[in-house]
């Protein structure tokens, strides 16, 4: 607009010199150089190839921290035990909290190595300030804090440790129903967070704790934020889990419930893969390119197709097309019930198979010897005579039929199994009869040959 006015003035006055003074003529104005305003946001990712977290450099955080005094605990009531892990700010210890109201309680104690700085101390205590607002059976419960140096966060102890390690150790003992149960329990916790307008921002198997073999709890709320009146939270500088993040979170640092859904899909994939990390061998800088090219994590072995389909819905590039946690919770509940029914059916079939094998084998894996006929040598002890193939694989038919009458058999087996048993016994009797006739012919020949040779 200024150039148009300047041109008009020069035309009217017949001047050739501009009336506008430009101190830095030839430079691009700042607004045009600001790619974020043009929707072409750029940023630098400072990463290493193996770290789960990488730093996206940006402006300072504007989050303000409320008071923690309501949850203050006296240090003398805490007995610090052995180190059981390591967190972002320091070691995690097992300990005992001697509450004035309740008996001694086993707790986990997060410590901070460099909390002499006020900024580090506030960031460390941020997790406690978030956790104190939650009360859910699948979210780790905050017990209290000690805000004087050394600063501690005290929370409930989940004795079986973090989920990722648990899955790796129990890889061959956990059934599919248990894995789906863990995913379902996490979906209930995240639906609860969504209802309270919180975004977690760090949903991964390493941040889930195992309270018992049938109970997991969401933990590590160090990156969680309240969204207030806005529909998304814009992150500041800090290390973030690139390989678990939604594309809009990597590109524009936008975090919503929809971006949490993306991360939950990755977490479900980790669970079904028994603790394998996503995008193994891929550099953090290369992850976003692969996602934008349409690449997604592959279907885990033995994963139900309905569950993998649910994962892929969580990984829709458009955040508005991803399911909400309430929907995920409902669908996972259905998938879990279906798997339990299939598991029960498999167990019933296996039980029937074992009953059939038990009846056929008489409780032994080896076929019994052929009983000797009166007046004939034993088939296995006589040279040149062999038991019939039928009796090499069948159970001791004679013992069974001698000890079980029809009445007793009906009490042991259902009607349809009893009928099958009778048909099989009929076939065995016919086979035995054929075998006996064959052996008798061999005996006649065997006795006749010496007699002929004497003649």
Residues with active-site annotation: 202
Give the separation between CA 297 and CA 313, rounded to whole angstroms. Answer: 12
- Six token digits for residue 106: 């086993």
- Six token digits for residue 82: 């052995």
Give the separation between CA 346 and CA 327, rounded to whole angstroms. Answer: 29
Give the separation between CA 377 and CA 117, rounded to whole angstroms. Answer: 97
Main-chain phi, psi angles of 5, to 5 degrees: -65, -40
Give the separation between CA 69 and CA 125, rounded to whole angstroms. Answer: 11
In contact, 241 and 52? CB cutoff 8 Å: yes
End-to-end CA distance of the chain: 138
In contact, 259 and 246? CB cutoff 8 Å: yes
Radius of gyration for the chain, computed over Cα atoms and rounded to the nearest angstrom: 37
- Torsion region of 363: left, alpha or beta (phi above 0 gives left; psi -120 to 50 gives alpha): left
Burial class from Cβ neighbours inside 10 Å (0-12, 13-18, 19+) for residue 197 reads middle
Is 113 labelled as part of a ligand binding site? no
Question: For residue 324, what are the CA distances in angstroms to 116, 191, 265?
Answer: 41, 8, 12
426 CB-near residues (< 8 Å, 6+ apart):
none
Give the separation between CA 377 and CA 379, rounded to whole angstroms. Answer: 6
User: What are the DSSP calls for 201-246, one per residue?
Assistant: S--SGGGEEEEETTEEEE---TT-EE-TTSSSEE--SSEE-GGGS-
Q: What residues are designated binding site for ATP?
A: 110
């Amino acid at each position: 607009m200024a150039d148009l006015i300047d041109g008009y003035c020069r035309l009217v006055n017949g001047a050739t010199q501009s009336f506008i003074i430009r101190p830095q003529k030839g430079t691009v104005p700042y607004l045009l150089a600001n790619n974020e305003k043009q929707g072409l946001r750029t940023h630098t990712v400072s990463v290493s190839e193996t770290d789960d977290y990488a730093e996206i450099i940006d402006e300072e955080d504007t989050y303000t921290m409320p008071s923690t005094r309501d949850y203050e605990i006296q240090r003398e009531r805490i007995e610090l035990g052995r180190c059981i892990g390591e967190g972002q700010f320091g070691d995690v210890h097992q300990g005992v909290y001697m509450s004035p109201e309740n008996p001694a309680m086993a707790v986990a104690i997060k410590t901070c190595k460099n909390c002499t700085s006020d900024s580090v101390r506030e960031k460390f205590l941020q997790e406690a300030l978030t956790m104190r607002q939650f009360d859910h059976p699948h979210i780790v419960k905050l017990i209290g804090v000690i805000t004087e140096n050394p600063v501690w966060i005290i929370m409930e102890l989940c004795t079986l440790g973090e989920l990722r390690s648990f899955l790796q150790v129990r890889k061959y003992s956990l059934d599919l129903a248990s894995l789906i149960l863990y995913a379902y329990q996490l979906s209930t916790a995240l639906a609860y967070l969504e209802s309270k307008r919180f975004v977690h921002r760090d949903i991964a198997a390493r941040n889930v704790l195992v309270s018992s073999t049938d109970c997991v709890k969401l933990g590590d709320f160090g990156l969680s934020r309240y969204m207030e009146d806005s529909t998304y939270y814009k992150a500041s500088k800090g290390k973030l889990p690139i390989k678990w993040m939604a594309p809009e979170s990597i590109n524009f640092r936008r975090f919503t419930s929809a971006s949490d859904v993306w991360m939950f899909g990755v977490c479900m994939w980790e669970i079904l893969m028994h603790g394998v990390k996503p995008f193994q061998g891929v550099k953090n800088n290369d992850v976003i390119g692969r996602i934008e090219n349409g690449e997604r994590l592959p279907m885990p072995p033995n994963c139900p197709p309905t569950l993998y389909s649910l994962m892929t819905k969580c990984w829709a590039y458009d955040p508005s097309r991803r399911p909400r946690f309430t929907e995920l919770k409902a669908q996972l509940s259905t998938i879990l019930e279906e798997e339990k029914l299939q598991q029960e059916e498999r167990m019933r079939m296996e039980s029937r198979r074992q009953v059939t094998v038990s009846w056929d084998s008489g409780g032994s894996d080896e076929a019994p010897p052929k009983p000797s006929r009166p007046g004939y040598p034993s088939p296995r002890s006589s040279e040149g005579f062999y038991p019939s193939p039928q009796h090499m694989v069948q159970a001791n038919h004679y013992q069974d039929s001698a000890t079980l009458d029809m009445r007793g058999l009906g009490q042991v087996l259902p009607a349809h199994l009893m009928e099958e048993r009778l048909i099989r016994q009929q076939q065995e009797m016919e086979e035995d009869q054929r075998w006996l006739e064959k052996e008798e012919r061999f005996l006649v020949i065997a006795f006749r040959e010496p007699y002929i040779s004497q003649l």
